[in-house]
Amino acid sequence: MFTMLFYLILIAVLVYWVESPVPIPINPLIKRKDPAAELEDWLKKFHWGNRQGLPNPGALPAYKFYGEVVEVILNLARKMGGSYQDSLLFLREGLLSDRQFEKRLREAHLGTWLQMGLMVSLTWMFIIGSLIITDIKLPFTKLLLIAGWQGLGLVCLPTVLSYLRKKYFGDIGLLWKMLYVLNSLGKVPLARSETLNLAGVRELSEIKQKSLSHIVEKLRSTCERILKVGGSYEAEVKSLMEELRFQEKWHFELFEKRLTVIKLGILSIFLLPSYLMFIFLLLGDLMDLL
């Protein structure tokens, strides 16, 4: 019973550690929203009519690239004046979509953890119930071996989930940053070379996913065009954002399929063998009694 309780506590701690959007605060009495929610609240309340509302550099919550882009816009407002309400509104819409996407990812992760926890709990309920019914005393070291093998599978799960997330969404996040910066600064009186530098288009060469190659090439050609002849690029950027949104949905479907394979792998390598190991040990002790 103690072992099952230990596992339930371990799973709860791991789930909170993986899924929590913010680190555990030093003072447990202070409850804060996650940075994405704080940034969205600030964008809702901010208006350009009150110049006193411009925050100091570094005062905004840091969430992915959104806070960085808002800082760039506010810095330009301090230096050049003007209102960039449309740019901030566009960023807020993107932030809302991003939070919904992150929620779907957390739900997928949490579902995986709950399934693993349920299997572990059922296994130990069966083990404890069988030992009580048969009145067989298995050595503690053997039970510890079973628990250790299951624990190894649970410890590997966060690493696997992190790898899958980086594989399917790392390059997509980099492209989102470039496109959002380009779109937000499209009407800002900046040299095109400086706009491209702020968007980080030099990092296009770091994007290796083949499924994103057509978006990378289109964005690269758009950047080359505006450097040579100038002009507006809003239509091209918005078209690329629609394509990237489609690719993101497709990658999420791939992520879910790979996640199913990972769950089956952990079940077949770590959890099912632990169950079969106990059955083998139990049958061995029963044969000795007979």
Domain assignment present for residue 60? The answer is no
Domain assignment present for residue 138? The answer is yes
pLDDT of residue 216: 92
Per-residue pLDDT tens over the stretch 158-198: 888 888 888 888 888 889 888 888 887 777 777 888 888 88
Q: How many angstroms separate the CA atoms of 267 and 276, rounded?
A: 12
Crossing angle for the helix pair 85-134 and 234-266, nearest 10 degrees? 10
End-to-end CA distance of the chain: 28
pLDDT of residue 227: 86
Least confident of 83-87, 180-184, 252-256: 83-87
DSSP-derived secondary structure letter, 269: I
Quote the mean pLDDT of the chain.
Answer: 78
For residue 280, the enclosing domain spans 2-22+106-289
Amino acid code (one letter) for 175: L
Domain assignment present for residue 94? The answer is no
Per-residue pLDDT tens over the stretch 7-20: 556 556 555 555 55
Domain assignment present for residue 172? The answer is yes
Q: Are 55 and 74 in contact (CB under 8 A)?
A: yes
pLDDT of residue 27: 37
Domain assignment present for residue 44? The answer is no
Most confident range (mean pLDDT) of 22-31, 52-61, 143-152 is: 143-152
Q: How many angstroms separate the CA atoms of 46 and 71, rounded?
A: 13
∠120-107-216 over CA atoms, to 5°?
125
Q: In sequence order, which ranges of 186-271 are alpha helices (DSSP H)?
A: 192-199, 213-228, 234-266
Domain assignment present for residue 204? The answer is yes
Q: Which two tokens stand for residue 21?
A: 């959007």
Q: Examine the pLDDT at 209 and tell me if it is beyond 60.
A: yes
Q: Examine the pLDDT at 285 and tell me if it is beyond 80.
A: no
Could you tell me which residue, 100 or 4, shows the higher pLDDT?
100
Q: How many angstroms separate the CA atoms of 87 and 181, rounded?
A: 9
Which residue matches tokens 């995986």? 112
Q: Examine the pLDDT at 249 and tell me if it is beyond 60.
A: yes
- Please state the rounded mean pLDDT for residues 212-238: 88
Domain assignment present for residue 115? The answer is yes
Amino acid code (one letter) for 62: A
Amino acid code (one letter) for 163: Y
Domain assignment present for residue 71? The answer is no
Could you tell me which residue, 76 or 177, shows the higher pLDDT?
177
Q: How many angstroms separate the CA atoms of 290 and 272, rounded?
A: 27
Q: How many angstroms separate the CA atoms of 164 and 146, rounded?
A: 27
Total domains in the chain come to 1
Q: Are 278 and 136 in contact (CB under 8 A)?
A: no
